[in-house]
Structure 1
């Protein structure tokens, strides 16, 4: 697609987000024109297709443009659900897509029953189709704590030890035999830039699955997607908006006595790395917020920013329930070694979970910690100054360029303009941990010992649909400010939040730090993002104390959308010191 056409179609789709939610009879044609561009599929790569409770499901999703088979430029949010055989949802994850991909994990609790499960993946736009467009992957979970797997289950021979090759990309292994706790290093060779610049996940795991069926690979999924019903147009004007610029949070306000059009609404994700958004309701009394960057904070506040806010009620849109009525769960067969494999994995997972605090994964902090006012502010970290017992004294003695007034027991904060002989009649924007505070009496009753810093922006400041005479932003030490305001005009919705990014644990035996800690990892390495751009780069990891055959699996897409699935088997033997 040429760049101009791409820009025009994206602009048309985004305009639907920014415009009224009104239902128009001519919008169906527009929706189906957009759908020709937003022709997406999701592919899900997992580290296995069968799990025990107490193990971790690791996964990566790829959002693919079906017309080009390349990663999609459009949807920025994907969703993943685990569904049990009763078609009930076990979990739902929301994922921010970067370059069309995202990854996360799920620790499988012992509350789950033994049985068949489905991993479902989709974007918001896919939910507008008449037929099911979502990706679904079959998984099997065994709960050895609740029931024993008996001999009555059908058994078939498996081919777990078979390699899978691709003439375009391969593993460059110096050896295929190692001993426990060896440092293992290898390269991934490609024959063209198309595969060097691809997008892949890498899993290195013991080949001890207990199902005779192999994990479905992307080539098989691609064939399945091509065989789906192509006549799947949108027929309903009550459509779900595509999340083209990030996470969408939307809703509606109502009032028995006041006009609900063109009213200001604020969204705050309260915390140290807060988010603050301002918008207005449209002609249908609806509002929409677009969050362009991931924020996993769960302390959300939505409030009306109007003088007569008590007249209004806020309601947040609920996510659409997926129709799982057509889902079918296949009959799965166990391999001949399933009892031994389950027993060994159960013991290993119990040992690994016992050392969780030593081996836990790291949550990666967000790189985007710059507030909405950027570097325009003067910052006052209160520990750098004499601490005062009240907010009043703190503002007077520490925060240059501001002052407070008190009129009929009501407090106000004022910000000096750059020209101190001029002061706008507009009030400043006062926020605490990202929460807009209009009634300052509760702020002035707050203990300033809990305040970490205060940032001041001078001059007229335009934000969202409103202008202010400066900004005064308070940040507490714990990022946990709670307003005392209550009413239907301010709500704290419990909404699904995006998954956090992680760096997955991998031991380093080059130092004696972990030498005495048992290592019963069956999953030796999980790299959700493999970079092949450097010619001399190597994949490095340590073997564990577990011996046997291990699978090295690389899965993903080349830069032009060719599906890749390669597998190599290595053998790890017991050390002579054991």
Structure 2
């Protein structure tokens, strides 16, 4: 209810005042990482906190972005996250292709960048590749200019290897968005600041030209006409997902040819496509680009030199990561992939499994003999499907929405190209059907057995899409049954990485086979916007 009220006020201001007070609707991002120094083969983990001006969870953006760049500004990866109450957590496996050097992790929303390309938060990392052949890099890391890190000068509690730990010192009644990290204290010290990056002050240097992604990701674009007499308004545009052939969204263009889709749920394919629903071929389509942060605003880090005694530490971590990765199938994280849901409610469809009607040899025979409500006509070599939906007067569109394996069929003649023995099922709905803001006389949907049908439409545009990073539950061993994992080595240095909305429970985890000093840390924000930072240390011997 609170979010709906905020969005209503936001839209009201746009419609009636035509200006936006950025101070009322600004948002920022905070960023937390699990380590400042990473070896190739290790995994970077991070958490995002999308905040409004009082540091409470922002209710404006549902989608946030994370970009990693090297010291030259070259893009290493871009991740997209659907936020859950203003927060998300992600990960990136450090590949051996990356060179030793400094890297920046940036996070932002499209709403932040619409006000200024400088509205992003960054965290600087050092990635070390011990396998690279560049000898100059190896020599550079033998120069003594950065002191080694030291353990806290207090007596720490000792634990054994593979011991269960239940830590209760941080229990409070605080609720909000927090991330708990238990990790071996980094022996390689770099002057890159904290694991937690606070939001940069938000600025507003640009006129606001787009809405926040409050309901989901915004995909927008524009069609162009090749014939000046063609209309730009009310042209249907379909968005289809190759990873979910039961997904379709349809929208219409405005009087400038502009259109947009709002994805309440992410797509499943990195190569979705858009299709112009028009019998006229004289249209082209172009998608709007995503706003990008101004990379030049990042201060370049000075060259980092490391002590000679770091060589042994780097070697130990490289070997440990190799061993852990060798047991990937046993130790892989659990990924929660959202279920691919159909856009059209299956309860609205009457489905005919074609295998029950194998005595027919063509689609025409099937339509003639099986569904009483469907018939076809052929006139001037034009095949057309009709529904017997008597009593319904349709003036907007007399054709049904026809789909084959997720593709919109503009020319019904394409249906005759399908080999009947490859049709798996035919589903129909003879009642008028709204999809998006388009009205159809009904639905006629075909699924083939191999899902490989390709019609001859030239009005289809493939586009690149960043599939959002799915939530992961990092691997945690269970040593209650010690014999079960007795022969499996445990070289974890990250013992726990966990997001939580409450601090009223103890922190539980198992130690690994790696000796050393470990840090238990909690970062985050309470529901009231108060920043929380807690840490404690222990030893494994």
Candidates 71, 86, 106, aligned match of 1:120: 106
Partner of 2:52 in structure 1? 65
The 5 A counterparts of 1:162-561 are 176-187=157-168, 189-192=170-173, 195=174, 197-213=175-191, 216-218=194-196, 221=198, 225=200, 228=201, 232-236=203-207, 239-257=209-227, 258-272=230-244, 274-308=246-280, 310-331=281-302, 332=304, 334=306, 338-367=310-339, 369-373=341-345, 375-379=347-351, 385=356, 392=363, 395-396=366-367, 400=371, 403=374, 405=376, 407=378, 410-417=382-389, 426-446=398-418, 454-475=426-447, 481-487=452-458, 489-511=459-481, 512-527=483-498, 529-532=499-502, 537-561=505-529
Counterparts of 1:433 and 1:372 in 2: how far apart (Å)?
Answer: 14
Using the TM superposition, give the Cα deviation of residue 4 of structure 1 relative to its aligned residue in structure 2, in angstroms: 9.1
Contact 1:156 1:336 (C-alpha < 8 Å) held by counterparts: no
Counterparts of 1:518 and 1:451 in 2: how far apart (Å)?
Answer: 51
Using the TM superposition, give the Cα deviation of residue 506 of structure 1 relative to its aligned residue in structure 2, in angstroms: 2.4
Contact 2:414 2:456 (C-alpha < 8 Å) held by counterparts: no
* 1:336-376 superposed Cα distances (whole Å, 9 cap, x missing partner): 85323211110011112222233222332214625333633
Using the TM superposition, give the Cα deviation of residue 36 of structure 1 relative to its aligned residue in structure 2, in angstroms: 2.6
Q: Report whether the alignment pairs 1:10 with 2:10.
A: yes
Counterparts of 1:430 and 1:438 in 2: how far apart (Å)?
Answer: 8
**Structure 1 pair 255–265 and aligned structure 2 pair: CA distance change class (3 A):** same
Partner of 2:145 in structure 1? 154
Counterparts of 1:517 and 1:250 in 2: how far apart (Å)?
Answer: 50
Partner of 1:38 in structure 2? 25
Candidates 123, 128, 140, aligned match of 1:142: 128
Counterparts of 1:121 and 1:202 in 2: how far apart (Å)?
Answer: 20
TM-score (structure 2 length as normaliser): 0.86
Contact 2:113 2:292 (C-alpha < 8 Å) held by counterparts: no
Using the TM superposition, give the Cα deviation of residue 449 of structure 1 relative to its aligned residue in structure 2, in angstroms: 6.6
Q: Report whether the alignment pairs 1:569 with 2:540.
A: no
Counterparts of 1:506 and 1:154 in 2: how far apart (Å)?
Answer: 37
Using the TM superposition, give the Cα deviation of residue 513 of structure 1 relative to its aligned residue in structure 2, in angstroms: 4.5
Contact 1:184 1:541 (C-alpha < 8 Å) held by counterparts: yes
Partner of 1:168 in structure 2? none
* 1:249-297 superposed Cα distances (whole Å, 9 cap, x missing partner): 1111111212222211111113336431111111221111111122232
Counterparts of 2:332 and 2:12 in 1: how far apart (Å)?
Answer: 45
Contact 1:387 1:394 (C-alpha < 8 Å) held by counterparts: no
The 5 A counterparts of 1:91-110 are 91-110=77-96
Secondary structure of 2:441's counterpart equals: strand
Using the TM superposition, give the Cα deviation of residue 11 of structure 1 relative to its aligned residue in structure 2, in angstroms: 2.5
Stretches of 4+ moved more than 6 A in 1?
1-5, 421-425
Using the TM superposition, give the Cα deviation of residue 104 of structure 1 relative to its aligned residue in structure 2, in angstroms: 1.7
Contact 2:33 2:195 (C-alpha < 8 Å) held by counterparts: no
Unmatched 5+ stretches in structure 1: 17-26, 164-174, 574-578
Greater Cα shift, 515-524 or 398-407:
398-407
Contact 1:118 1:139 (C-alpha < 8 Å) held by counterparts: yes
Contact 1:509 1:542 (C-alpha < 8 Å) held by counterparts: yes
Contact 1:212 1:335 (C-alpha < 8 Å) held by counterparts: no
Counterparts of 1:81 and 1:157 in 2: how far apart (Å)?
Answer: 29
Partner of 1:172 in structure 2? none
Counterparts of 1:416 and 1:519 in 2: how far apart (Å)?
Answer: 67
Candidates 115, 130, 150, aligned match of 1:129: 115
Candidates 70, 76, 80, aligned match of 2:66: 80
Counterparts of 2:28 and 2:314 in 1: how far apart (Å)?
Answer: 34
Counterparts of 1:341 and 1:390 in 2: how far apart (Å)?
Answer: 71
